[in-house]
Structure 1
């Protein structure tokens, strides 16, 4: 455990020690008896007083057979612990049982057998079927021979290429299971939804209207919701898109094959049936709780985070439980998370090796920089608005915005905690006139 999280863990240790225990997870899959030994953190069920609202939604969790099961189980015991079993389904590459969690083979019976037999994107799927699990899959197995051009360049990961085929079948299967839910919410195993805020927001909307909500991206003139931080689809929109999927399976599977991302495929399919998207980039955060830029969000509500590790999910779940225990009728804004969760961690930091605190302003040309960590610190100290700094590959970076960041080899980070607190205190207090939500329909 890094010193960053060690500080946070010590802060909550007295309560955590009474509720955290270790156990081993044994998995039996239909294609063979495979045992996975995993030591994970277990959190017992809380009061779950939001369960009635959760019964109005259906949660689609997208994962993969090569996913770290520790993260999967931890999510089920933190952000998803109160979701009724009738309101959730896990969509993966293989049919597996992970403890009490049933993973569906999303492709079997949903994707045309011709693609499975002939398309190189299903080579990894067929190998996992033969082996009965992801165990034994090598780095070479994950390497695609013909990488597709994606948003971030050539994508040579077969797992990613396979993942895009899950989105439309997920919607079709889910609607077959539960067609009467008001809202359908798609997340990944490293997404952390803040359910009280989600339901406070949805209470203002009519599920019989068309909604496709989240943080958008744009490719080739098509807007789609970034799946990592979650997407919300209303009952009306879900009904339209599933009817379209069933009536145009052949064309849509060809479109899936020709494109690089499943959330792009879903966005285009919804657009084809007349469903636009609702932009909520500030509420659906594409980064983790410790990596987010809170200066951008501050007075708006937090609905979800992405890239949340198992360790981070446990720590944030403890904070969330305590915060809503004190302020059960309030909406948690980003400033509340910064003051109550981020700042206490920052105040315990000085420097960290192999850590990227997201300082990005290049100060390497400063006349006093001599390619050392110490000179980078001095540059930050000399600038009154600098709150933290980073030294990596012989270069110095500073920033005006306090963040924790994440592990990164060959990067050394430093913080000025007193300035981080001043930065937070200098923000004007959020008032009732400040928008908690910032939806923008397009």
Structure 2
């Protein structure tokens, strides 16, 4: 029989009680495994799906991340519970781009689905393998090389080539393995989203470098009946096919996502053949929607393919002027941009007088303070190249380029590079760092333009008439 000295005997009741509590808590934990954030996974058995048998799931949605326990940490977002937010990403970018959303834009969103080409946990949120129900015959395609390596070896299966940045072209970035794989995600993504939350009124898709304004999105969606078939996005065209640009973010109503998910599951082989022959998955989704009678509702400038630094707020395009419209997204936003915009938006909506945010507000508070008469090693994206009269190869000096802009009453910005190439623009953009480029802005013309546009009495919305 074990014996203890009198020195330790007095601790026995305390230690016994602690051990009993530990056993009880551990048993409670085991009963809960599989229902919370970190789910216990059963042994995986891969079964080839019947292309005609994928049906909506009736199970209750289990959020893949935790909303902050303190209700005061989240401002009210009436209607957000009816929206499934879908973030599309991939293994080569997820670790860089998802964490900032977890701590900012997704913090207070109850229904989030992260679709990727690799399943993993990132900062407490789970990514879903969007290809998990796709047939092996499709996954044997060479464009699934990255996916198959990651599936078999995890992140250890990645190569340096997977992370190489390639130049974007009129046909995308086909030389990048992740980009080539991405086009396959759009159609299976709608099935994953429908099965994940079949009763959502809206499904809003964005990419990991897209910044969303939830308050503006919810007010905008109030203008549409979610029981009808709506497809809302930034209009793009490839060979006559009009579709919503994926990077800009787009919305599908419950009726629309059910219709296109059914179409895809009925004719998977045909859609896979067409996807193989295409280079843009967002275009394929748009084609599928149109073929079942759901056309795109053009939604620029609410959703845009430009970052906050590259989207002009004052000039008209597609018959709309952004100034008094409410932005819903900005694309090509870096993690630093997202942190900055989230801080600005949080402070903006902390004012009880602010129920919405307009392009004019973003310009006045975010863009305008960062403009300057001259910025070295900076490109403001001026796009009209000037040619010296009588000498097409003559170089410009900085003062000549600035004077040329000043003499043109429509010119607001100019830039000149080390080769002496002078460019001008009537847009007002912040732009991006660029070694060897000098950018200039006619600030008095900026202020005059802003003054002529005036204050926005009410937000303008792109809605069907």
Normalised by the size of structure 1, how large is the TM-score?
0.80
Quote the Cα distance in structure 1 between the aligned partners of 2:282 and 2:415: 34
Aligned match of 1:112:
135
2:254 equivalent in structure 1: 235
1:332 to 340, 357, 371: 357
Q: For residue 209 of structure 1, what is the aligned residue in structure 2?
A: 228
Question: Do the aligned partners of residues 312 and 45 (structure 1) sit closer, same or farther apart at CA in structure 2, a change above 3 Å counting?
Answer: farther
Higher fraction of strand: 1
> What is the root-mean-square deviation of aligned Cα atoms in Å?
2.9
**Distance change >3 Å, CA 387–CA 45, structure 1 → 2:** farther
**Can you give the 5+ residue segments of structure 1 that lack an aligned partner in the other structure?**
1-29, 31-43
1:231 CA displacement: 0.7
Out of 129, 139, 153, which is 1:131 matched to? 153
The answer to whether structure 1 residue 194 and structure 2 residue 194 are counterparts is no
- Residue of structure 1 in register with 2:83 after alignment: 57
2: CA distance, partners of 1:218 / 1:236: 24
Alignment partner, residue 243 of structure 2: 224
Whole-angstrom distance in 2 between the partners of 1:419 and 1:219: 36
Q: Secondary structure at the match of 2:73?
A: coil
Secondary structure of 1:298's counterpart equals helix
By how many angstroms is 1:327 displaced?
5.4
Indicate the residue corresponding to 1:421 in structure 2: 447
2:127 alignment counterpart: 103
What SS does the corresponding residue of 2:224 show, helix, strand or coil? coil
Counterpart mapping for 1:426-441 below 5 A: 426-432=452-458, 436-440=460-464
1:414 deviates by 2.2
Q: TM-score, normalised by structure 2?
A: 0.77
Separation of aligned partners in 2, 1:343 and 1:213: 30
CA contact (8 A) 1:65 1:134 kept: no
Is the CA contact 1:380–1:387 (under 8 Å) kept in the aligned structure 2?
yes
SS at 1:132 equivalent: helix
Structure 2 residue 427 is the aligned partner of structure 1 residue 401: yes
Gap change, CA 1:76 and 1:221, over 3 Å in 2: same
Tell me, yes or no, if structure 1 residue 170 matches structure 2 residue 189: yes
* In 1, Cα distance between equivalents of 2:122 and 2:300: 33
Displaced runs of 4 or more, over 4 A: 140-144, 366-370
**Alignment correspondent of 1:376:** 401
2:269 — aligned with what? 250
Q: Which residue of 1 aligns with 2:376?
A: 353
Give the Cα–Cα distance (whole angstroms) in 2 for the partners of residues 260 and 78 of structure 1: 32
Which residue matches 2:114?
90
Deviation at 1:430, TM superposition (A): 2.8
After superposition, the C-alpha distances for 1:33-88 in whole angstroms (9 at most, x for unaligned) are xxxxxxxxxxx99732334522110011000100052322112222222112xx11
User: How many residues end up aligned between the 2 structures?
Assistant: 389
Q: Which runs of 5+ in 2 are unaligned?
A: 1-40, 42-69, 317-321
* Deviation of the 1:381 alpha carbon: 3.5
Write the distance in 2 (CA, Å) between the matches of 1:141 and 1:78: 25
Cα deviations by residue, 1:112-149 (Å, 9 ceiling, x for unpaired): 201212x11111222233431177522278699xxxx9
Q: How does 1:144-163 map to 2 (within 5 A)?
A: 151-152=170-171, 155-163=174-182
CA shift digits 1:234-275 (9 cap, x unpaired): 011111111112211111111211211110111111112211
Cα deviations across residues 272-330 of structure 1 (Å, max 9, x unaligned)? 22111110111111101111111231122211111111111111112212222225553
Match of 2:388 in 1: 365
- Aligned counterparts of 1:256 and 1:58: Cα–Cα separation in 2: 25
What is the rounded CA distance, in whole Å, between the counterparts of 2:343 and 2:389 in structure 1? 42
